[in-house]
Structure 1
Amino acid sequence: MRVHRSAAVSSVHEDADGVTVRSDALEPLRARWVVAADGAASTLRALSGTPFRGRTYAGTWQLADLRVEAPSLDPARVHMVGGPRGLLVVLPMHLDGWARVVLHLPDGPAPGGAATPAALAAEAAARGWTAAVRECRWTSTFRTGRRLAADHGSRRVLLIGDAAHVCSPVGGQGLNLGLRDAVSLAAALPRAADAEGLAAWRRARRADALGVLARTDLATRAWTLRSAPARAVRDTALRGVLTTPAGRRLLAESVAGPRRKPQGGDRQTLG
């Protein structure tokens, strides 16, 4: 396998036997299939003429990996706090003193805006989590949405990962969904004699993506409610669900999806 860097794709031409890919830095490349794993702003998806339908959620998100001392909430647990200022999530990182802090800013700064550790910690404190920040390793500000590539696009340009679908970060399912795309495609490609041979793979991947997008969309809407009465109903329902192991499992699976059982020769479960 050859890896070509700094080589932007300029055109993709599909015919009955394969695909020709042209780049401003390389001779034309010919292949039976082209796998588009080039992210949410996929060039290959756009060149293949495949619509990417959906919507962008309101507000922005801020993430930071912080080394903290004396946190006010149990550092070994996941904490999700939804209030009038927006959602706060604190995730343990299984590294001594480190936590990932996630903030949803309903009326927040544009993507790329400054998110200093001090400002982020101050906003987290206003939402119910305080800690002494000693170090910040990484921070990011971005928008997200729910989008899915149309199923009537190119037959030989195969979309996987964020090029095929984008979901809310609530539930942490974007990476898992992309891994399932890649693993299942690696198994399907050797058995595909022509473009029609991947029809079953396409249907299965679309069904999986639709399920993940529906679950994460519902969770995102629930956790970003701003109306006080609506939040009160949500919190009352959650308290009831969280009182039993079965309820906690049901809640987790409603966001992240049910536990997948290995099939056939599977050695490991992704999901």
Structure 2
Amino acid sequence: MIRMHYSFDFAQQMHFPSNPLQPGPMYFLTPRKCGLFGVSCEGLQKQVNFLIDEGMSSGKGSNEVISYMHHFTHFGVGETDVDLHCDNCTGQNKNNFMLWCGAWRVAHKLHSTLNIHFLVAGHTKFAPDCGFGLIKQAYKRTRVVENSSPESRLNIPQLVGLEDGTVFVNMFYWQAHLNPYFRKLPQIKSYQHFSFDAKRLGVVLARTHSDAEPVSFQLLCDPDVLPPVDCFPAQLAPGLATDRQTYLYSKIRPFCSDEAQDITCPAPQSTTQNGTQKRMMV
């Protein structure tokens, strides 16, 4: 039996190319964006950081959070019991989809127990912010996540995808996958701690605070029918809109180094009727 504790959060997005001196002509421009989602394991003093190019970003909703956390199992240690910490953002974390995912994981014996804890209202700083801070300090100088913690090796990078559309971390429509099998927990915002146990399929124990008496609620519509453990509906990378590609090519490309221009700000492409890409004249 292995028990692990993980904390996760989004960081404020970064931009590239980045210049600490910020050239005057670039001050009012918007370079290419890179999102950052971190999962911190305090027990191992490691943090996996998902680097999300704007062409790979579908948003910051529950589908994305669950997809990143699902992929994070590749970095796990085979833990049977899991504690998760996150903030109270309803669009990302404190929502029924996250609870349904927790119930789904323990129902399929991916974990024996799973607990989700939300930060006390008014407290927003926790473990992932340490890794984010190191990354942003180093990014001003080196632009490399691994070099942000050369001695401790705290930060581990995980590319979600490349600028050319290559995908490394798949996104799925978890809402569509789970919704037919579960029902909503009433007054979900009033609770701070949620617990799931593989011995009680579909049941969540919700507490308003750590010492409160738990409220038991059956999330499964039919405890004898579980959502499939695989075959998730895929959520394709959105890519960059043509006007955004044109903006990067015409406005940002001059500020990129020669070797990075065709990666960060390539010539715009459009999609033909047969789905292939063709380069546009600029």
Which TM-score band (shorter chain)? under 0.3
State TM-score, norm by structure 1.
0.23
Q: When you count helix as a share of all residues, which structure comes out higher?
A: 1
